[in-house]
Amino acid sequence: MFAQVLAQLALLAIAVAAVALPLSFLLAAQFDKGNVPVAKGFWSSLFGPAFGTEQNWKSYLLSALVFNLTGAGLLFLILLFQDHLPFNPLHADGLSPAQAFNIAISFMTNTDWQAYTGDETLSLLSRMAGLGAQNFLSAATGIALAFAVVRGFVREKNPSLGNFYRDAGRAVIFILLPLSVVAALFLVHEGVPQTLAASVQASAIDGGIQTIVTGPVASQVAIKVIGSNGGGYFTANGAHPFENPTPLSNFVQMVLIFALPAAFLLAFGRMVKDRRQSRSLLAASVVMFAILFVPCAHYESKANPALSGLAIDQQVSEANPGGNMEGKETRFGILGSTLWATATTATSNGATNAALDSYMPLGGLIPLFNMLLGEVVFGGVGCGLIAILVYTVLTVFIAGLLAGRTPEYLGKKIEAREITLAVVAVLLHPLCVLIPSLASLAAMPPGGEPHSLTQTLYAYASASANNGSSFASFDANTVYQNIALGLVMLAGRFGYAAPVLAIAGSLSSKRAILPSGGTFPTHGTVFVILLIGVIFLLGGLTFLPAVALGPIAEHLSLYSR
Amino acid sequence: MFQELRASIILVLGLTLLTGVAYPLLMTEAGQALFPYQANGSLVEENGSVIGSEIIAQSFTGDIYFHPRPSASAYDAANSGGSNLAPGSVKFINDVESRVEELRKPGSARLVPVDLVTSSGSGLDPDISEASARFQAPRIAEAREMSLQKVEKLIEEYTARKTLGVLGENRVNVLQINRALDRLSPETLPEMPAP
């Protein structure tokens, strides 16, 4: 088992490196192009003056907001009126306003929480031009925000952070779209359907008629994994054989899930012209990922004690996947499922290839914990880099306090304003998870089981972290949950983007100073260990009481049977 | 603000046309041209009519067939999903217990492989583990009046191994092996009562 775990991790690391390295050159090139002032010409005459100007942090944020709300508005209208629009072969009804609001916010904020069940709820137009397009635009927003934040470290005495529209447009056309075309073709080859026929009737061999829902699945699944979106074509998401037909498609999708977040960490060193910075952020991320994956795989591959009295073979062997197979697919087995669950919650992707609700309590704690950390372990496309930079700034500050040195990072002095904003950004997440969770539990008290507490906690952690995975038996499609979760997603996305862009704006206005003997080095092993410690302590400890009442209590009662 | 709205609306509409209309439609053309079988859902046809998808589980209940894993959605390929039951929930434990009782012959010492008594994440898992196929072999051999070796040989032939020896699990596609069974002993079919 241990050898298999190592082999999986090694294979994944090699493949991710092979894809992320060339991508990091592409990212750095697009970052540099965004630094060139636009000439007044075709583009600015088409899009208007807002397109060609350099923006300070406030107008960059405003553009991001207006752009995203426009996209969400379009999606909301498509969902509401899908029964009157073309490409609706299964005659899906228009959605209720509360549900359409939730889905529009969910896909606009890169959360991709699916508050709908049934594979025939949405029309093909809603899927392609609605959800599919938002998958691209929300990922592009993440890329643009990361570019702006990095410019804060690079620029000197210059409050502008680039132009949002240019950065986002470039991200779609030069990064996300080409990658998706290649990935979608590969997925079709593996067995993912790509057709405009919405369903097929089959006369099953052993009797009965089976309605098989198909559609343009591959094009949506490609961007779902590349853009850390996670919203699937089917309710079962990545567990559905049409979304994820083979062990190889499972592996390649994981590689694509990591591709851009890892490429961002690699490109960061290039952007700030100090490659050592990339190495330390990458090392911290890899170590944290391995630390998180091992317990998840461990608890899922052990026998479920609740079934120990029955005549079941739960032992892992070459012919038997063993362990806790409830909610898992045979072709992925325990390792292919747990590696995926760890990967998609570390990276803010939120796609699922197994039912997380049916995970063992501590196996399911890992995806929950990843989201509670705020998804800093590689994190979402662009947003992952931002998250780990916020923690880096805090680590530099704490190290400065410990060693009595001036806190500075990449030649920029870290002062009270930056620290205050970083603390606001880091604290926002626990507030967005714990208070709405409590409110939901108070409004609709579930059963006394620890598992129902975990379900609610998981839902709000997923919304606030813009992850989108769920414990699926949570009753999400109510007016209350649709609205409350939608608002938490908004706060988690833009409530976080605002202080972070403000930090970038404040840093970019500063003069760069040369490192002196008093500078705490942000590369090397000491810094990596310190960074990991700060992330686990600050991110994790906040939630210890909630986690103790949920998954840990459930674990203790299950194993004391 | 007006300028922001203007830029946003034009950019959102332009990129939606590109990524939400042109991209999926072009990928459909390309997918249909390059890999038409997979692009249409890996549909299996017999005598001109579709009998299922190679990669979507369908219900098999007769003794002459390999049975797929239990499905929380009753093999409804328009309503995918798992049971989403917690590992300690009473309903889950009762479900598993009754499946075990159904599968095991009284007095048998054989343990049921775990995947055969647990429902999959999609409810449409097309595969069973190699162990679950072997577990079912004696029942099928008896119902079809075939030798056990013949069924075991078929399992051997239809077992897909782990990719690169690492990824996934050894597994048997239920639809494929059942079609192979029908080809091997078609005369058994008419004699079987409908389940």
Closest residue on chain B to A337 (Cα): B168
The boundaries of the domain holding residue A478 are: 383-559
pLDDT band (50, 70, 90) for residue A518: confident
Report which of residues A43 and A13 the model is more confident about: A13
pLDDT band (50, 70, 90) for residue A46: confident
* Nearest CA among A235, A258, A253, A239 for reference residue A337: A239
B98 touching A (Cβ < 8 Å): no
- Give the separation between CA B85 and CA B101, rounded to whole angstroms: 20
- Do the domain assignments include residue A349? no
Element (H, E) at B171: strand B171-173
Nearest chain A Cα distance for residue B9, angstroms:
6
To 10 degrees, the CA torsion angle through A85, A87, A89, A94? -40
- Do the domain assignments include residue A377? no
Residue B190 confidence (pLDDT) above 60: no
Mean pLDDT of A59-75: 97
Please give the pLDDT value at position B109.
82
Output the six-digit token pair for A526: 């000491």
Mean pLDDT of A209-229: 96
DSSP A171-194: IIIIIIHHHHHHHHHHHHHHT--B
B11 SS3 class: helix
Q: Is A445 exposed, middle or buried (0-12, 13-18, 19+ CB in 10 A)?
A: exposed
Residue A129 confidence (pLDDT) above 90: yes
> Which chain B residues in 39-78 lie under 8 Å from chain A, judged by CB atoms?
39-43, 49-53, 55-62, 65, 69, 75-78
Nearest chain B Cα distance for residue A197, angstroms:
8
Please give the pLDDT value at position A445.
83
B129–A330 C-beta distance less than 8 A: yes
Q: How much is the mean pLDDT over chain A?
A: 93
Nearest chain A Cα distance for residue B113, angstroms:
5
Q: Which of B118, B140, B181, B188 to mutate to test the interface with A (most CBs of A within 10 A)?
A: B118
B131–A236 C-beta distance less than 8 A: no
Residue A45 confidence (pLDDT) above 90: no
Residue A429 confidence (pLDDT) above 90: yes
Note the pLDDT tens digit of each residue in A407-416. 899 999 999 9
Output the six-digit token pair for A87: 């490409």
B118–A325 C-beta distance less than 8 A: yes
Please give the pLDDT value at position A39.
63
Please give the pLDDT value at position B187.
57
Note the pLDDT tens digit of each residue in B9-54. 999 999 999 999 999 999 999 999 999 999 999 999 998 999 999 9
Structurally, chain A folds into a number of domains equal to 1
Residue A41 confidence (pLDDT) above 70: no
Mean pLDDT of A234-240: 94
Nearest by CB to residue B23, choosing from A177, A201, A318, is: A177
Q: Is A552 exposed, middle or buried (0-12, 13-18, 19+ CB in 10 A)?
A: middle
- Which chain B residues contact residue A362 at CB under 8 A? none
Output the six-digit token pair for B166: 């690492």
Q: E strands along A76-208, which residues? A: 199-203
Confirm if A191 and A246 have CB atoms less than 8 A apart.
yes
Nearest chain A Cα distance for residue B147, angstroms:
22
Q: Which of B4, B114, B140, B170 to mutate to test the interface with A (most CBs of A within 10 A)?
A: B114
Nearest chain B Cα distance for residue A177, angstroms:
7
pLDDT band (50, 70, 90) for residue A106: very high
| Alpha helix ranges (H) inside A302-360 | 333-346
B16 touching A (Cβ < 8 Å): yes
- Give the separation between CA A395 and CA A560, rounded to whole angstroms: 40
- The top-scoring range by mean pLDDT among A110-119, B2-11, B101-110 is B2-11
B111 touching A (Cβ < 8 Å): yes
Residue B195 confidence (pLDDT) above 50: no
Nearest chain B Cα distance for residue A67, angstroms:
5
* Nearest CA among A378, A559, A499 for reference residue A58: A499
A509 to each of A153, A343, A389, A395, how far by Cα in Å? 10, 36, 18, 22
* Nearest CA among A443, A449, A485, A445 for reference residue A468: A485
Identity at A552, one-letter amino acid code: I
Please give the pLDDT value at position A438.
93
| Alpha helix ranges (H) inside A227-323 | 247-271, 275-301
Helix axes A217-226, B23-34, angle to 10 degrees: 120
Per-residue burial over B143-161, b = 16 or more CB atoms within 10 Å of its CB, e = otherwise = bbebeeeebeebbeebbbe
- Do the domain assignments include residue A366? no
pLDDT band (50, 70, 90) for residue A543: very high
A498 to each of A34, A149, A409, B129, how far by Cα in Å? 20, 11, 20, 50
Nearest by CB to residue A74, choosing from B12, B81, B114, is: B12
Please give the pLDDT value at position A40.
62
pLDDT band (50, 70, 90) for residue A406: confident
Please give the pLDDT value at position B177.
97
Confirm if A126 and B20 have CB atoms less than 8 A apart.
no
Mean pLDDT of A457-474: 92
- Which chain A residues contact residue B112 at CB under 8 A? 311-313
Closest residue on chain B to A452 (Cα): B86
- Percent with pLDDT over 90 in chain A: 83
- Do the domain assignments include residue A541? yes
Output the six-digit token pair for A512: 């760069």
Nearest by CB to residue A206, choosing from B60, B128, B131, is: B60
Identity at A21, one-letter amino acid code: L
- Do the domain assignments include residue A299? no
Please give the pLDDT value at position B191.
47
Q: Are strands A412-413 and A312-313 parallel, antiparallel or unpaired?
A: unpaired
B78–A119 C-beta distance less than 8 A: yes
**Cα A383 from chain centroid?**
8
Kindly list the domain boundaries of chain B, sorted by start residue. 1-40, 41-191
Please give the pLDDT value at position B189.
53
Closest residue on chain A to B89 (Cα): A306
> Which chain A residues in 206-235 lie under 8 Å from chain B, judged by CB atoms?
206-208, 210-214, 216, 218-220, 223, 234-235
- Do the domain assignments include residue A546? yes
Element (H, E) at B159: strand B159-160
A53 touching B (Cβ < 8 Å): no
- Which chain B residues contact residue A206 at CB under 8 A? 58-62, 65, 195
Please give the pLDDT value at position A90.
87
- Do the domain assignments include residue A440? yes
Please give the pLDDT value at position A33.
87
A128–B8 C-beta distance less than 8 A: no
User: What is the separation, in whole angstroms, between the first and last Cα of chain A?
Assistant: 26
